[in-house]
Amino acid sequence: MSEPLKIAIAGLGTVGVGVVRVLHENGEEISRRCGREIIISAISARDEKRDRGIDLSNYTWFDDPVDMARDAEADVFVELIGGEDGVAKTSCEAAISAQKSVVTANKALIAHHGTDLAVEAEKNDLGLAYEAAVAGGIPVVKSLREGLAGNRVTGLYGILNGTCNYILTTMRETGREFDDVLSEAQDLGYAEADPSFDVDGVDAAHKLAILASLAFGCQVNFDDTYVEGIRHISALDIQYAGELGYRIKLLGIASSSEDGIVQRVHPCLVKLDSPVAHVEGVYNAVVAQGDFVGSTVYEGKGAGEGPTASAVVADLVDIARGMKSTAFGIPASQLGPLSTVPMDRHVGSYYIRLMVRDRPGVFADVAGVLRDEEVSMEAILQRTHSPDESVPVVMTTHDVEEASMMRALERFAQYDTVVEQPRMIRIEPLSL
**Looking at the whole model, is its pTM more than 0.85?**
yes
> What Cα–Cα distance (Å) separates residue 312 from each residue in 20, 21, 73, 328, 389?
11, 12, 20, 17, 56
Question: Residue 14 is which amino acid?
Answer: T
Phi (first) and psi of residue 354, to 5 degrees: -115, 135
pLDDT at position 358 is 77
Burial of 22 (0-12, 13-18, 19+ CB in 10 A): buried
> What is the distance between the alpha carbons of residues 358 and 137, in angstroms, rounded to a whole number?
51
pLDDT digits (tens, 9 = 90+) for 29-60: 999 999 999 999 999 999 888 888 888 888 99
| Other residues' Cβ atoms within 10 Å of the Cβ of residue 67 | 14
pLDDT at position 324 is 81
Q: Are 92 and 275 in contact (CB under 8 A)?
A: no
Question: With 90 as the cut, is the pLDDT of residue 247 above it?
Answer: yes
User: What's the mean pLDDT in 187-216?
Assistant: 93
Question: With 70 as the cut, is the pLDDT of residue 385 above it?
Answer: no
Domains and CATH numbers, the chain: 5-133 (3.40.50.720), 140-301 (3.30.360.10), 347-428 (3.30.70.260)
Question: With 70 as the cut, is the pLDDT of residue 136 above it?
Answer: yes
> What is the distance between the alpha carbons of residues 249 and 236, in angstroms, rounded to a whole number?
15
Q: How many CA atoms lie within 13 A of 333 on its CB side?
A: 6
Q: Which of 89, 107, 142, 207 is catalytic?
A: 207
Question: With 90 as the cut, is the pLDDT of residue 104 above it?
Answer: yes
Mean pLDDT of the chain: 92
pLDDT digits (tens, 9 = 90+) for 289-303: 999 999 999 999 888
Burial of 188 (0-12, 13-18, 19+ CB in 10 A): exposed
Indicate if the alpha-carbon torsion angle 197, 201, 207, 213 is positive or negative: negative
207 is catalytic: yes
Question: With 70 as the cut, is the pLDDT of residue 1 above it?
Answer: no
Looking at per-residue pLDDT, the higher value among 120 and 304 belongs to: 120
Question: With 70 as the cut, is the pLDDT of residue 351 above it?
Answer: yes
